[in-house]
Amino acid sequence: MKIKDITVQNKLGLHARAAMKLIDLADKFTSHVSLTYNNRTIDGKDIMAVLSLGSPQGTQLTLTVEGGDEEQAFTAIEALFNDKFGEAE
């Protein structure tokens, strides 16, 4: 299992399109992906759950990945956050 705090860096926060990108990426892996915010842990492959976080820019989330491809999944998801979901700012 891999756990690490990650920050929502893009200006718009974890809005709908960013959330969809996260789901699309997480779905490519078999590992279980979850995000924890304010003591609430949600399924990182469930769009409604990810949207329910409503995380603005600067939010710190705990990313947990567990499964056969956890290394690759974790690296890819962390990169997506660091890349600001492909957004310019």
CB 51 within 8 A of CB 13: no
Is residue 34 part of the contact set for another protein (CB under 8 A)?
no
**Eight-state DSSP code of residue 62:** E
Give the shortest CB-68-to-another protein separation in angstroms: 25
Per CB under 8 A, contacts with another protein among 59-88 are none
Q: Which stretch binds another protein (CB under 8 A): 14-22, 25-33, 61-69, 72-80?
A: 14-22
Q: Which of 57, 62 has the CB closer to another protein?
A: 57
To the query of whether residue 32 is one of the catalytic residues in this protein, the response is no
Q: Can you list the positions of beta strands (E) in 1-89?
A: 2-7, 32-37, 40-43, 60-66
d(CA 71, CA 7): 19
